[in-house]
Amino acid sequence: MSATENPENTGRNSDGRFAAGNQHGGKPKGARHRTTRAIETLLEGEHEGLTRKAIDMALAGDTTAMRLCLDRIAPPRKDAPITFDLPPIKTAADTVSASCALLQAVSEGEVTPDEAGRVMALLTAHKSLVEAGDLEARIAALEEKRA
């Protein structure tokens, strides 16, 4: 009987992925592709010379070499702090005011739509926490009243 006929022998979880530690689960941790190893072997001992050449080319005006050097020196920021006015959020209803303030900041160009999306995700998560806290307090009050 083959592994496809007997799913217990495939080494896969119920979702179809390989189970952790399974012999069929791919490369071991830390293993690198043979092409990567071959390139590393070819470049062994050449890093300093290649870096110097890239810098010389950049200084000579090669824009591709300049971009390469600058990307290594000062890579583009993936995230930056933003500042805008947001009302305090103490109740779930306050998140509506905060959402309105956020949309206003987007419309005025203070916040990008992408930044607003990330802040809105924070607001949504905070709203869930506030709602859970409110619900817990209400349940505790009901249980106390009942006792």
* Rg of the Cα atoms in the chain: 28
104 and 142, same domain (yes or no): yes
pTM comes to: 0.47
3-state secondary structure of 12: strand
Within 8 A by CB and 6+ apart from 130, the residues are: 89, 90, 91, 92, 94, 95
Claim to verify: residue 108 and residue 138 sit in the same structural domain: yes
DSSP bridge pairs for 12 = 18
Q: Is residue 88 part of a domain?
A: no
- Which residue range is the domain that position 37 belongs to? 33-76
DSSP state, residue 140:
H
Same-domain status, 5 and 37: no
- My answer on whether 134 and 98 are in the same domain is yes
Does any domain span residue 87?
no
* Model confidence pLDDT, tens digit, residues 83-141: 888 888 888 889 999 999 999 999 999 999 999 999 999 999 999 998 999 999 999 99
45/25 same-domain check: no
Q: Is residue 137 assigned to a domain? A: yes
